[in-house]
Structure 1
Amino acid sequence: MRLGVIFRPDFPPHELRRIATEAEAAGVDELWLWEDCFQQGGVAQVAVALAATERLGVGIGLIPAPLRNVTAAAMEFATLESSFPGRTRVAVGHGVQSWMRQAGAAVESPLTLLREYVTALRALLAGEEVTTEGRYVRLSQVRLEFPSARPYPILIGGTGPKTLRLAGEIADGVLLDSRYTSDTVTDALRHVAEGRAAANAPSRSFSTTLFLACAPGADADRRLAEEARRQDVPPTGVFGVGGDVGQIAAGLAPYLAAGVDAVALQPLDRGVADLVGAAGRVRAALP
Protein backbone atom coordinates (compact mmCIF):
# COMPACT_ATOMS: atom_id res chain seq x y z
CA MET A 1 0.00 0.00 0.00
CA ARG A 2 0.93 3.66 -0.36
CA LEU A 3 0.73 5.95 2.65
CA GLY A 4 0.53 9.69 2.24
CA VAL A 5 -0.39 12.87 4.03
CA ILE A 6 -2.64 15.78 3.07
CA PHE A 7 -1.89 19.48 2.92
CA ARG A 8 -5.33 21.04 3.21
CA PRO A 9 -6.20 24.07 1.06
CA ASP A 10 -7.09 26.13 4.13
CA PHE A 11 -3.46 25.94 5.32
CA PRO A 12 -1.25 28.97 4.54
CA PRO A 13 0.15 28.54 1.01
CA HIS A 14 3.65 29.64 2.01
CA GLU A 15 3.96 26.54 4.24
CA LEU A 16 3.56 24.08 1.39
CA ARG A 17 7.22 23.88 0.35
CA ARG A 18 8.31 23.12 3.92
CA ILE A 19 5.64 20.47 4.45
CA ALA A 20 6.48 18.82 1.12
CA THR A 21 10.18 18.55 1.98
CA GLU A 22 9.34 17.28 5.48
CA ALA A 23 7.02 14.64 4.02
CA GLU A 24 9.73 13.43 1.67
CA ALA A 25 12.29 13.34 4.47
CA ALA A 26 9.87 11.41 6.68
CA GLY A 27 9.59 8.69 4.04
CA VAL A 28 5.90 8.91 3.18
CA ASP A 29 4.91 7.92 -0.35
CA GLU A 30 2.61 10.75 -1.35
CA LEU A 31 1.50 14.26 -0.55
CA TRP A 32 -2.09 14.97 -1.50
CA LEU A 33 -3.56 18.40 -2.18
CA TRP A 34 -7.04 19.44 -3.15
CA GLU A 35 -8.68 22.45 -4.72
CA ASP A 36 -11.48 24.07 -2.74
CA CYS A 37 -12.96 27.11 -4.39
CA PHE A 38 -11.58 30.50 -3.45
CA GLN A 39 -8.66 29.05 -1.43
CA GLN A 40 -5.65 27.65 -3.35
CA GLY A 41 -5.22 26.64 -6.99
CA GLY A 42 -4.62 22.90 -7.19
CA VAL A 43 -2.29 22.83 -10.21
CA ALA A 44 -0.09 25.57 -8.76
CA GLN A 45 0.13 23.68 -5.47
CA VAL A 46 1.23 20.51 -7.26
CA ALA A 47 3.94 22.37 -9.16
CA VAL A 48 5.29 23.88 -5.93
CA ALA A 49 5.36 20.51 -4.13
CA LEU A 50 7.03 18.74 -7.06
CA ALA A 51 9.67 21.42 -7.46
CA ALA A 52 10.48 21.32 -3.74
CA THR A 53 11.12 17.55 -3.69
CA GLU A 54 12.95 14.83 -5.62
CA ARG A 55 10.91 11.62 -5.37
CA LEU A 56 7.72 12.36 -3.48
CA GLY A 57 4.50 11.44 -5.28
CA VAL A 58 2.02 14.32 -5.42
CA GLY A 59 -1.71 13.85 -5.87
CA ILE A 60 -4.32 16.44 -6.63
CA GLY A 61 -7.85 15.63 -5.66
CA LEU A 62 -10.10 17.04 -6.59
CA ILE A 63 -9.93 19.13 -9.68
CA PRO A 64 -13.53 20.30 -10.30
CA ALA A 65 -14.35 19.59 -13.94
CA PRO A 66 -16.84 22.47 -14.37
CA LEU A 67 -14.21 25.00 -13.33
CA ARG A 68 -11.43 24.02 -15.77
CA ASN A 69 -11.57 23.64 -19.53
CA VAL A 70 -10.46 20.09 -20.33
CA THR A 71 -7.88 21.18 -22.93
CA ALA A 72 -6.27 23.62 -20.52
CA ALA A 73 -6.25 20.97 -17.79
CA ALA A 74 -4.62 18.44 -20.13
CA MET A 75 -1.91 20.95 -21.03
CA GLU A 76 -1.20 21.60 -17.34
CA PHE A 77 -0.99 17.92 -16.38
CA ALA A 78 1.12 17.03 -19.43
CA THR A 79 3.57 19.80 -18.55
CA LEU A 80 3.88 18.52 -14.98
CA GLU A 81 4.35 14.96 -16.22
CA SER A 82 7.07 16.02 -18.67
CA SER A 83 8.95 17.93 -15.98
CA PHE A 84 8.41 15.43 -13.14
CA PRO A 85 7.70 12.08 -14.83
CA GLY A 86 5.71 9.51 -12.93
CA ARG A 87 5.19 11.59 -9.80
CA THR A 88 1.68 12.99 -10.22
CA ARG A 89 -1.79 11.52 -9.84
CA VAL A 90 -4.91 13.48 -10.65
CA ALA A 91 -8.45 13.01 -9.39
CA VAL A 92 -11.32 14.78 -11.11
CA GLY A 93 -14.76 15.46 -9.66
CA HIS A 94 -17.88 17.42 -10.47
CA GLY A 95 -17.20 19.97 -7.74
CA VAL A 96 -19.34 21.32 -4.92
CA GLN A 97 -22.38 22.57 -6.78
CA SER A 98 -22.95 25.66 -4.64
CA TRP A 99 -19.38 26.77 -5.40
CA MET A 100 -19.81 25.97 -9.07
CA ARG A 101 -22.87 28.24 -9.12
CA GLN A 102 -20.93 31.00 -7.37
CA ALA A 103 -18.19 30.73 -9.97
CA GLY A 104 -20.67 30.71 -12.87
CA ALA A 105 -19.55 27.20 -13.86
CA ALA A 106 -22.44 24.97 -12.75
CA VAL A 107 -23.98 22.61 -15.30
CA GLU A 108 -27.35 20.90 -15.43
CA SER A 109 -25.88 17.37 -15.43
CA PRO A 110 -22.60 17.19 -13.50
CA LEU A 111 -22.35 13.45 -14.09
CA THR A 112 -22.59 13.83 -17.87
CA LEU A 113 -19.88 16.47 -17.79
CA LEU A 114 -17.65 14.25 -15.65
CA ARG A 115 -18.00 11.32 -18.08
CA GLU A 116 -17.22 13.50 -21.11
CA TYR A 117 -14.39 15.29 -19.32
CA VAL A 118 -12.50 12.23 -18.10
CA THR A 119 -12.87 10.50 -21.46
CA ALA A 120 -11.46 13.50 -23.32
CA LEU A 121 -8.74 14.16 -20.74
CA ARG A 122 -7.42 10.60 -20.97
CA ALA A 123 -7.35 10.73 -24.77
CA LEU A 124 -5.59 14.09 -24.84
CA LEU A 125 -2.92 13.01 -22.36
CA ALA A 126 -2.34 9.88 -24.43
CA GLY A 127 -1.49 12.04 -27.44
CA GLU A 128 -4.64 11.30 -29.41
CA GLU A 129 -6.30 13.85 -31.67
CA VAL A 130 -9.68 14.47 -30.12
CA THR A 131 -12.82 15.62 -31.88
CA THR A 132 -16.01 15.34 -29.89
CA GLU A 133 -19.41 17.01 -29.76
CA GLY A 134 -20.69 16.17 -26.31
CA ARG A 135 -23.28 17.93 -24.25
CA TYR A 136 -20.54 19.93 -22.51
CA VAL A 137 -17.16 18.92 -23.92
CA ARG A 138 -16.75 20.04 -27.52
CA LEU A 139 -13.35 19.70 -29.16
CA SER A 140 -12.27 19.92 -32.78
CA GLN A 141 -9.03 18.19 -33.84
CA VAL A 142 -7.25 18.94 -30.54
CA ARG A 143 -3.94 17.20 -30.01
CA LEU A 144 -1.29 18.04 -27.40
CA GLU A 145 2.19 18.68 -28.74
CA PHE A 146 3.75 17.35 -25.53
CA PRO A 147 1.47 14.55 -24.27
CA SER A 148 2.33 12.18 -21.46
CA ALA A 149 4.99 9.64 -22.39
CA ARG A 150 3.31 6.97 -20.24
CA PRO A 151 -0.25 5.98 -19.37
CA TYR A 152 -1.40 8.77 -17.09
CA PRO A 153 -3.65 7.67 -14.19
CA ILE A 154 -6.87 9.64 -13.86
CA LEU A 155 -9.01 9.04 -10.78
CA ILE A 156 -12.57 10.12 -10.15
CA GLY A 157 -13.59 11.38 -6.75
CA GLY A 158 -17.08 11.55 -5.35
CA THR A 159 -19.54 10.20 -2.82
CA GLY A 160 -22.78 9.44 -4.61
CA PRO A 161 -23.48 5.92 -5.94
CA LYS A 162 -23.69 7.11 -9.56
CA THR A 163 -20.35 8.91 -9.35
CA LEU A 164 -18.72 5.92 -7.69
CA ARG A 165 -20.04 3.59 -10.37
CA LEU A 166 -18.74 5.96 -13.04
CA ALA A 167 -15.30 5.84 -11.42
CA GLY A 168 -15.31 2.07 -11.68
CA GLU A 169 -16.52 2.21 -15.27
CA ILE A 170 -14.14 4.74 -16.88
CA ALA A 171 -11.41 5.85 -14.46
CA ASP A 172 -8.07 4.40 -13.38
CA GLY A 173 -9.00 4.72 -9.74
CA VAL A 174 -11.33 6.25 -7.21
CA LEU A 175 -10.69 8.85 -4.53
CA LEU A 176 -12.81 8.64 -1.37
CA ASP A 177 -13.00 11.56 1.04
CA SER A 178 -12.58 11.48 4.79
CA ARG A 179 -16.26 11.05 5.67
CA TYR A 180 -16.10 7.28 5.22
CA THR A 181 -15.91 4.92 8.17
CA SER A 182 -14.57 1.38 8.27
CA ASP A 183 -18.13 0.20 7.45
CA THR A 184 -19.31 2.74 4.89
CA VAL A 185 -16.12 2.48 2.82
CA THR A 186 -17.17 -1.09 2.01
CA ASP A 187 -20.51 0.16 0.70
CA ALA A 188 -18.78 2.79 -1.44
CA LEU A 189 -16.40 0.29 -2.99
CA ARG A 190 -19.31 -1.99 -3.83
CA HIS A 191 -20.65 0.75 -6.12
CA VAL A 192 -17.21 1.09 -7.69
CA ALA A 193 -17.09 -2.67 -8.28
CA GLU A 194 -20.49 -2.54 -9.96
CA GLY A 195 -19.16 0.06 -12.39
CA ARG A 196 -16.12 -2.04 -13.18
CA ALA A 197 -18.24 -5.11 -13.76
CA ALA A 198 -20.66 -3.23 -16.03
CA ALA A 199 -17.72 -2.01 -18.13
CA ASN A 200 -16.18 -5.48 -18.15
CA ALA A 201 -12.98 -3.91 -16.84
CA PRO A 202 -11.84 -6.16 -13.96
CA SER A 203 -8.40 -6.57 -15.54
CA ARG A 204 -7.75 -2.85 -15.91
CA SER A 205 -5.27 -1.47 -13.39
CA PHE A 206 -7.25 0.36 -10.72
CA SER A 207 -6.32 2.11 -7.49
CA THR A 208 -8.44 3.03 -4.49
CA THR A 209 -7.26 6.01 -2.48
CA LEU A 210 -8.87 7.06 0.79
CA PHE A 211 -8.47 10.34 2.61
CA LEU A 212 -8.53 9.30 6.27
CA ALA A 213 -8.93 11.58 9.28
CA CYS A 214 -5.96 11.20 11.60
CA ALA A 215 -5.39 12.47 15.14
CA PRO A 216 -1.86 11.53 16.22
CA GLY A 217 -0.98 11.71 19.89
CA ALA A 218 -3.07 11.96 23.02
CA ASP A 219 -6.83 12.42 23.22
CA ALA A 220 -7.32 10.97 19.73
CA ASP A 221 -10.73 9.43 20.40
CA ARG A 222 -12.25 12.73 21.53
CA ARG A 223 -10.78 14.66 18.61
CA LEU A 224 -11.98 12.10 16.07
CA ALA A 225 -15.45 12.04 17.61
CA GLU A 226 -15.68 15.83 17.37
CA GLU A 227 -14.58 15.70 13.73
CA ALA A 228 -17.13 13.00 12.97
CA ARG A 229 -19.89 15.18 14.41
CA ARG A 230 -18.65 18.19 12.46
CA GLN A 231 -18.77 16.23 9.19
CA ASP A 232 -22.06 14.52 10.09
CA VAL A 233 -20.46 11.10 9.64
CA PRO A 234 -22.91 8.16 9.93
CA PRO A 235 -22.55 6.46 13.35
CA THR A 236 -21.51 3.10 11.94
CA GLY A 237 -18.07 1.57 12.07
CA VAL A 238 -14.87 3.33 13.11
CA PHE A 239 -14.09 6.84 11.92
CA GLY A 240 -10.46 7.71 11.25
CA VAL A 241 -7.28 6.66 13.03
CA GLY A 242 -5.32 8.14 15.88
CA GLY A 243 -3.09 7.67 18.89
CA ASP A 244 0.48 6.40 18.77
CA VAL A 245 2.23 4.83 15.78
CA GLY A 246 1.08 1.32 16.63
CA GLN A 247 -2.52 2.40 17.08
CA ILE A 248 -2.55 4.31 13.79
CA ALA A 249 -1.01 1.37 11.92
CA ALA A 250 -3.53 -1.03 13.45
CA GLY A 251 -6.38 1.34 12.65
CA LEU A 252 -5.58 1.14 8.95
CA ALA A 253 -6.36 -2.59 8.85
CA PRO A 254 -10.14 -2.49 8.29
CA TYR A 255 -9.78 0.03 5.46
CA LEU A 256 -7.13 -2.07 3.75
CA ALA A 257 -9.27 -5.18 4.21
CA ALA A 258 -12.15 -3.37 2.49
CA GLY A 259 -10.02 -2.89 -0.62
CA VAL A 260 -8.25 0.43 -0.12
CA ASP A 261 -4.68 0.36 -1.47
CA ALA A 262 -3.58 3.93 -0.73
CA VAL A 263 -4.31 6.05 2.33
CA ALA A 264 -3.67 9.77 2.74
CA LEU A 265 -3.83 10.85 6.37
CA GLN A 266 -5.79 14.07 6.80
CA PRO A 267 -4.96 16.41 9.69
CA LEU A 268 -7.84 17.65 11.81
CA ASP A 269 -6.17 20.95 12.61
CA ARG A 270 -3.08 22.99 11.84
CA GLY A 271 -0.78 20.35 13.33
CA VAL A 272 0.23 18.94 9.95
CA ALA A 273 3.93 18.81 10.89
CA ASP A 274 3.15 16.41 13.77
CA LEU A 275 1.07 14.28 11.43
CA VAL A 276 3.89 14.13 8.86
CA GLY A 277 6.29 12.82 11.48
CA ALA A 278 3.80 10.24 12.72
CA ALA A 279 3.01 9.15 9.14
CA GLY A 280 6.67 8.58 8.43
CA ARG A 281 7.00 6.33 11.48
CA VAL A 282 3.82 4.46 10.52
CA ARG A 283 5.12 4.00 6.97
CA ALA A 284 8.36 2.54 8.30
CA ALA A 285 6.36 0.04 10.36
CA LEU A 286 4.26 -1.17 7.44
CA PRO A 287 5.27 -3.87 4.93
Structure 2
Amino acid sequence: MTTLGAVFRPQVPPERLRAVARLADDVGLEELWLWEDCFLEGGISTAAAALAWTERVRVGVGLLPVPLRNVAVTAMEAATLYRLFPGRAVLGVGHGVQDWMGQVGARAESPLTLLREHLVALRALLRGERVTTDGRYVNLDDVALDWPPPADAGIPVFAGGTGPRTLRLTGEAADGTILTASTSPDGVRRARGLIDEGRAAAGRTEPHPVVVYLLAATGPDAVARLRAELAAEGLESVPDLGVAGDAGAVAKAVQRLAEAGADSVILQPTGDEPDPEAFVRFTAEEVRPLVP
Protein backbone atom coordinates (compact mmCIF):
# COMPACT_ATOMS: atom_id res chain seq x y z
CA MET A 1 0.00 0.00 0.00
CA THR A 2 1.21 3.48 -0.83
CA THR A 3 1.92 5.58 2.23
CA LEU A 4 0.27 9.00 2.08
CA GLY A 5 1.33 12.04 4.07
CA ALA A 6 1.39 15.83 4.08
CA VAL A 7 3.98 18.56 4.58
CA PHE A 8 3.83 21.24 7.24
CA ARG A 9 5.71 23.87 5.27
CA PRO A 10 8.08 26.17 7.18
CA GLN A 11 6.44 29.17 5.55
CA VAL A 12 3.72 28.60 8.16
CA PRO A 13 4.61 30.17 11.54
CA PRO A 14 5.94 27.56 13.99
CA GLU A 15 3.25 28.36 16.53
CA ARG A 16 0.74 26.79 14.09
CA LEU A 17 2.50 23.41 14.23
CA ARG A 18 0.82 22.16 17.40
CA ALA A 19 -2.70 22.43 15.96
CA VAL A 20 -1.67 20.88 12.65
CA ALA A 21 0.20 17.98 14.29
CA ARG A 22 -2.63 17.18 16.70
CA LEU A 23 -5.14 17.27 13.86
CA ALA A 24 -2.92 14.95 11.81
CA ASP A 25 -2.95 12.50 14.73
CA ASP A 26 -6.72 12.78 15.21
CA VAL A 27 -7.70 12.25 11.56
CA GLY A 28 -5.34 9.32 11.00
CA LEU A 29 -2.74 10.92 8.74
CA GLU A 30 0.07 8.42 8.27
CA GLU A 31 3.00 10.82 8.04
CA LEU A 32 3.60 14.53 8.66
CA TRP A 33 6.78 15.85 7.07
CA LEU A 34 8.78 18.92 8.10
CA TRP A 35 11.56 20.83 6.34
CA GLU A 36 14.71 22.51 7.61
CA ASP A 37 14.80 25.32 5.05
CA CYS A 38 17.06 28.32 5.67
CA PHE A 39 16.19 30.50 7.43
CA LEU A 40 12.81 29.37 8.62
CA GLU A 41 12.35 26.54 11.14
CA GLY A 42 14.72 23.98 12.64
CA GLY A 43 14.09 20.38 11.62
CA ILE A 44 14.95 18.64 14.89
CA SER A 45 13.20 21.13 17.16
CA THR A 46 9.96 21.03 15.16
CA ALA A 47 10.09 17.24 14.86
CA ALA A 48 10.58 16.82 18.61
CA ALA A 49 7.66 19.13 19.34
CA ALA A 50 5.36 17.46 16.82
CA LEU A 51 6.21 14.01 18.16
CA ALA A 52 5.64 15.10 21.76
CA TRP A 53 2.24 16.59 20.92
CA THR A 54 1.03 13.42 19.18
CA GLU A 55 0.62 9.71 19.82
CA ARG A 56 0.70 7.83 16.52
CA VAL A 57 1.53 9.90 13.42
CA ARG A 58 5.01 9.37 12.00
CA VAL A 59 7.01 12.59 11.69
CA GLY A 60 9.60 12.96 8.95
CA VAL A 61 12.27 15.60 8.45
CA GLY A 62 13.16 15.90 4.80
CA LEU A 63 15.79 17.05 5.01
CA LEU A 64 18.64 18.17 7.29
CA PRO A 65 21.37 19.96 5.24
CA VAL A 66 24.63 18.20 6.10
CA PRO A 67 26.89 21.27 5.59
CA LEU A 68 25.16 22.85 8.61
CA ARG A 69 25.70 19.89 10.94
CA ASN A 70 28.56 17.97 12.47
CA VAL A 71 27.67 14.32 11.95
CA ALA A 72 28.05 13.56 15.67
CA VAL A 73 25.37 16.16 16.45
CA THR A 74 23.08 14.70 13.77
CA ALA A 75 23.57 11.24 15.28
CA MET A 76 22.95 12.41 18.85
CA GLU A 77 19.74 14.19 17.92
CA ALA A 78 18.51 11.35 15.72
CA ALA A 79 19.21 8.73 18.37
CA THR A 80 17.41 10.80 20.99
CA LEU A 81 14.29 11.10 18.82
CA TYR A 82 14.35 7.42 17.93
CA ARG A 83 14.59 6.41 21.60
CA LEU A 84 11.97 8.87 22.82
CA PHE A 85 9.49 8.04 20.04
CA PRO A 86 10.22 4.49 18.80
CA GLY A 87 9.14 3.88 15.22
CA ARG A 88 7.73 7.35 14.71
CA ALA A 89 10.67 9.53 13.61
CA VAL A 90 12.07 9.51 10.07
CA LEU A 91 15.11 11.64 9.27
CA GLY A 92 16.61 12.50 5.92
CA VAL A 93 19.83 14.33 5.11
CA GLY A 94 21.04 16.03 1.97
CA HIS A 95 23.17 18.65 0.29
CA GLY A 96 20.97 21.61 1.19
CA VAL A 97 20.46 24.53 -1.17
CA GLN A 98 23.94 25.62 -2.16
CA ASP A 99 23.17 29.35 -2.19
CA TRP A 100 21.92 29.09 1.39
CA MET A 101 24.97 27.09 2.40
CA GLY A 102 27.11 29.86 0.93
CA GLN A 103 25.26 32.49 2.94
CA VAL A 104 26.32 30.85 6.19
CA GLY A 105 29.86 30.03 5.11
CA ALA A 106 29.20 26.29 4.96
CA ARG A 107 29.28 25.63 1.23
CA ALA A 108 31.32 22.51 0.47
CA GLU A 109 33.66 22.31 -2.50
CA SER A 110 32.45 18.74 -3.08
CA PRO A 111 28.89 18.31 -1.77
CA LEU A 112 28.85 14.71 -2.99
CA THR A 113 31.94 13.79 -0.95
CA LEU A 114 30.51 15.48 2.12
CA LEU A 115 27.18 13.67 1.82
CA ARG A 116 28.88 10.30 1.32
CA GLU A 117 31.11 10.77 4.38
CA HIS A 118 28.19 12.01 6.48
CA LEU A 119 25.95 9.09 5.52
CA VAL A 120 28.58 6.44 6.19
CA ALA A 121 29.46 7.88 9.62
CA LEU A 122 25.86 8.62 10.61
CA ARG A 123 24.60 5.12 9.85
CA ALA A 124 27.54 3.58 11.70
CA LEU A 125 26.97 5.73 14.79
CA LEU A 126 23.26 4.89 14.83
CA ARG A 127 24.17 1.20 14.67
CA GLY A 128 26.05 1.72 17.93
CA GLU A 129 29.49 1.43 16.38
CA ARG A 130 32.61 3.24 17.56
CA VAL A 131 33.84 5.34 14.65
CA THR A 132 37.23 6.75 13.75
CA THR A 133 37.48 8.36 10.33
CA ASP A 134 39.69 10.97 8.71
CA GLY A 135 37.83 12.18 5.66
CA ARG A 136 37.84 15.32 3.61
CA TYR A 137 34.95 16.73 5.64
CA VAL A 138 34.02 14.22 8.35
CA ASN A 139 36.61 13.61 11.05
CA LEU A 140 35.84 11.49 14.10
CA ASP A 141 38.27 10.15 16.68
CA ASP A 142 36.97 7.16 18.63
CA VAL A 143 33.37 8.45 18.71
CA ALA A 144 30.43 6.32 19.85
CA LEU A 145 26.98 7.23 21.10
CA ASP A 146 26.30 6.51 24.76
CA TRP A 147 22.58 6.24 23.97
CA PRO A 148 22.29 4.72 20.50
CA PRO A 149 18.96 3.34 19.33
CA PRO A 150 18.30 -0.29 20.29
CA ALA A 151 20.41 -2.67 18.24
CA ASP A 152 17.35 -4.34 16.70
CA ALA A 153 15.55 -1.08 15.87
CA GLY A 154 16.66 -1.01 12.22
CA ILE A 155 16.74 2.79 12.09
CA PRO A 156 16.62 4.02 8.47
CA VAL A 157 18.56 7.06 7.29
CA PHE A 158 17.08 8.69 4.21
CA ALA A 159 18.89 11.01 1.82
CA GLY A 160 17.54 13.54 -0.64
CA GLY A 161 18.79 13.80 -4.19
CA THR A 162 18.07 15.09 -7.67
CA GLY A 163 21.16 14.65 -9.84
CA PRO A 164 22.31 11.26 -11.19
CA ARG A 165 25.44 11.04 -9.03
CA THR A 166 23.57 11.87 -5.85
CA LEU A 167 20.79 9.40 -6.63
CA ARG A 168 23.34 6.65 -7.19
CA LEU A 169 24.89 7.63 -3.86
CA THR A 170 21.56 7.40 -2.03
CA GLY A 171 21.17 3.86 -3.34
CA GLU A 172 24.67 3.00 -2.22
CA ALA A 173 24.90 4.70 1.17
CA ALA A 174 21.38 5.57 2.41
CA ASP A 175 18.43 3.44 3.47
CA GLY A 176 15.86 5.36 1.43
CA THR A 177 15.61 8.31 -0.94
CA ILE A 178 13.58 11.54 -0.83
CA LEU A 179 12.63 13.15 -4.16
CA THR A 180 11.44 16.73 -4.49
CA ALA A 181 8.14 17.93 -5.93
CA SER A 182 9.98 18.74 -9.16
CA THR A 183 9.99 14.99 -9.90
CA SER A 184 7.44 13.78 -12.45
CA PRO A 185 6.37 10.13 -12.75
CA ASP A 186 8.98 9.67 -15.51
CA GLY A 187 11.50 11.30 -13.17
CA VAL A 188 10.64 8.78 -10.46
CA ARG A 189 11.29 5.93 -12.89
CA ARG A 190 14.65 7.38 -13.85
CA ALA A 191 15.52 7.97 -10.20
CA ARG A 192 14.63 4.37 -9.32
CA GLY A 193 17.01 3.15 -12.01
CA LEU A 194 19.86 5.31 -10.71
CA ILE A 195 19.19 4.31 -7.10
CA ASP A 196 19.24 0.66 -8.12
CA GLU A 197 22.59 1.19 -9.86
CA GLY A 198 24.01 2.45 -6.57
CA ARG A 199 22.48 -0.41 -4.63
CA ALA A 200 23.93 -2.96 -7.02
CA ALA A 201 27.38 -1.37 -6.85
CA ALA A 202 27.29 -1.61 -3.05
CA GLY A 203 25.83 -5.11 -3.02
CA ARG A 204 22.72 -3.96 -1.17
CA THR A 205 19.61 -6.11 -1.50
CA GLU A 206 17.33 -4.86 1.29
CA PRO A 207 14.26 -2.77 0.38
CA HIS A 208 14.99 0.89 -0.42
CA PRO A 209 11.85 3.04 0.03
CA VAL A 210 11.40 6.13 -2.11
CA VAL A 211 9.52 9.17 -0.78
CA VAL A 212 8.21 11.70 -3.31
CA TYR A 213 6.69 15.08 -2.61
CA LEU A 214 3.68 16.02 -4.74
CA LEU A 215 2.75 19.69 -5.00
CA ALA A 216 -1.01 19.79 -4.54
CA ALA A 217 -3.73 22.40 -4.26
CA THR A 218 -7.45 22.12 -3.72
CA GLY A 219 -10.30 24.59 -3.42
CA PRO A 220 -11.74 27.26 -5.73
CA ASP A 221 -8.38 28.93 -6.49
CA ALA A 222 -6.34 25.72 -6.68
CA VAL A 223 -5.31 25.98 -10.33
CA ALA A 224 -4.10 29.55 -9.99
CA ARG A 225 -2.10 28.81 -6.83
CA LEU A 226 -0.48 25.75 -8.36
CA ARG A 227 0.47 27.61 -11.54
CA ALA A 228 1.89 30.52 -9.56
CA GLU A 229 4.10 28.25 -7.46
CA LEU A 230 5.38 26.28 -10.45
CA ALA A 231 6.15 29.56 -12.25
CA ALA A 232 7.99 30.93 -9.21
CA GLU A 233 10.15 27.78 -9.20
CA GLY A 234 10.76 28.00 -12.96
CA LEU A 235 8.93 24.70 -13.49
CA GLU A 236 5.83 25.83 -15.37
CA SER A 237 7.00 24.18 -18.60
CA VAL A 238 7.75 20.78 -17.03
CA PRO A 239 4.94 18.31 -17.79
CA ASP A 240 3.15 16.23 -15.15
CA LEU A 241 4.23 18.27 -12.14
CA GLY A 242 1.78 18.99 -9.37
CA VAL A 243 -1.97 18.58 -9.23
CA ALA A 244 -4.89 20.92 -8.64
CA GLY A 245 -8.43 19.76 -8.02
CA ASP A 246 -10.60 17.59 -5.83
CA ALA A 247 -9.69 14.41 -3.97
CA GLY A 248 -10.20 12.28 -7.05
CA ALA A 249 -7.76 14.30 -9.13
CA VAL A 250 -5.16 14.30 -6.36
CA ALA A 251 -5.55 10.55 -5.78
CA LYS A 252 -4.93 9.87 -9.49
CA ALA A 253 -1.73 11.94 -9.37
CA VAL A 254 -0.62 10.02 -6.28
CA GLN A 255 -1.29 6.73 -8.06
CA ARG A 256 0.77 7.78 -11.08
CA LEU A 257 3.76 8.40 -8.82
CA ALA A 258 3.19 5.11 -7.01
CA GLU A 259 3.05 3.20 -10.29
CA ALA A 260 6.35 4.86 -11.27
CA GLY A 261 8.06 3.56 -8.14
CA ALA A 262 7.17 5.81 -5.19
CA ASP A 263 6.54 3.99 -1.92
CA SER A 264 5.38 7.14 -0.09
CA VAL A 265 3.75 10.20 -1.61
CA ILE A 266 3.72 13.29 0.58
CA LEU A 267 1.31 16.01 -0.46
CA GLN A 268 3.04 19.38 -0.44
CA PRO A 269 0.70 22.37 -0.18
CA THR A 270 1.54 25.56 -1.99
CA GLY A 271 3.47 28.13 0.00
CA ASP A 272 0.35 30.28 0.22
CA GLU A 273 -1.99 27.48 1.32
CA PRO A 274 -4.66 29.40 3.26
CA ASP A 275 -5.64 26.61 5.66
CA PRO A 276 -2.93 24.07 6.64
CA GLU A 277 -5.31 22.23 8.98
CA ALA A 278 -7.90 21.80 6.22
CA PHE A 279 -5.16 20.52 3.90
CA VAL A 280 -4.20 17.82 6.40
CA ARG A 281 -7.84 16.84 6.87
CA PHE A 282 -8.34 16.75 3.07
CA THR A 283 -5.32 14.46 2.71
CA ALA A 284 -6.37 12.01 5.41
CA GLU A 285 -10.13 11.95 5.03
CA GLU A 286 -10.73 12.57 1.32
CA VAL A 287 -7.62 11.51 -0.61
CA ARG A 288 -6.49 8.54 1.51
CA PRO A 289 -9.62 6.41 0.89
CA LEU A 290 -9.06 6.75 -2.86
CA VAL A 291 -5.42 5.64 -2.85
CA PRO A 292 -4.80 1.86 -2.93
TM-score bracket for the superposition, by shorter chain length: over 0.9
Indicate conservation of the 8 Å contact 2:4/2:31, yes or no: yes
Aligned counterpart, 1:276: 280
- State the one-letter code of the partner of 1:249: A
The residue type paired with residue 209 of structure 2 is: S
The one-letter code of the counterpart of 1:211 is Y
SS in 2 for 1:221: helix
1:234, CA displacement in angstroms? 6.6
Matched residue type, 1:265: L
Q: Is the 8 A contact 1:179 1:231 kept in 2?
A: no
Cα RMSD after superposing both structures: 1.4
Alignment correspondent of 1:76: 77
Q: In the aligned structure 1, how far is the partner of 2:236 from the partner of 2:111?
A: 25
Residue 161 of structure 2 corresponds to residue 162 of structure 1: no
Please state how far the C-alpha of 1:188 moved relative to its aligned partner.
Answer: 2.5
* Separation of aligned partners in 1, 2:35 and 2:55: 21
Provide the C-alpha distance between the structure 1 equivalents of 2:243 and 2:280, rounded to a whole number of angstroms: 14
In 1, Cα distance between the equivalents of 2:115 and 2:182?
22
1:286 aligns with 2:288: no
Q: Summarize deviations over 1:64-118 as a string: whole Å, max 9, x none.
A: 1110111011111111111101111111001111111211212211110100001
What secondary structure is seen at the aligned counterpart in 2 of 1:55? Answer: coil
Structure 1 counterpart of 2:242, one-letter code: G
The aligned residue for residue 232 of structure 2 is 230
- Say if 1:27 and 1:284, in contact at 8 Å, map to a contact too: no
Distance 1:108 1:284 in 2: 46
Alignment-derived partner of residue 206 in structure 1: 208
> CA deviation digits over 1:4-52, x for unaligned, max 9?
1101112100001110011111211000001011211110000010001
| Contact 1:182–1:237 (CA under 8 A) maintained in structure 2 | no
1:111 aligned onto 2:116: no
Q: Displacement, 1:236? A: 4.4
Q: Could you give the per-residue CA deviations for residues 207-226 of structure 1, whole angstroms, max 9, x where no partner exists?
A: 10011101122343343233
Please report the TM-score for the alignment, with normalisation by the length of structure 1. Answer: 0.95
SS at match of 2:168: helix
Contact 1:169 1:198 in 2 (8 A): yes
CA distance in 2, matches of 1:38, 1:229: 22
Secondary structure of 2:203 counterpart:
coil
Q: TM-score, normalised by structure 2?
A: 0.94
- 1:246 Cα offset (Å): 1.7
Give, in whole Å, the separation in 2 of the partners of 1:184 and 1:223. Answer: 23
SS in structure 1 of the partner of residue 4 of structure 2: strand
Q: Residue in 2 aligned with 1:19?
A: 20
Question: Structure 1 CA distance, aligned partners of 2:238 and 2:100?
Answer: 29
2:247 is matched with which residue?
245
**Aligned AA (1:241):** V
2:181 matched to 1:178? yes
Match of 1:130 in 2: 131
Whole-angstrom distance in 1 between the partners of 2:61 and 2:239: 28
Contact 1:214–1:242 (CA<8 Å) still a contact in 2?
yes
Q: Is the 8 A contact 2:19 2:277 kept in 1?
A: no
In the alignment, is the contact (CA less than 8 A) between 1:156 and 1:167 conserved in 2?
Answer: yes
**Other-structure match for 2:90:** 89
Distance in 1 (CA, whole Å) between partners of 2:107 and 2:91 is 21
Residue in 1 that maps onto 2:193: 190
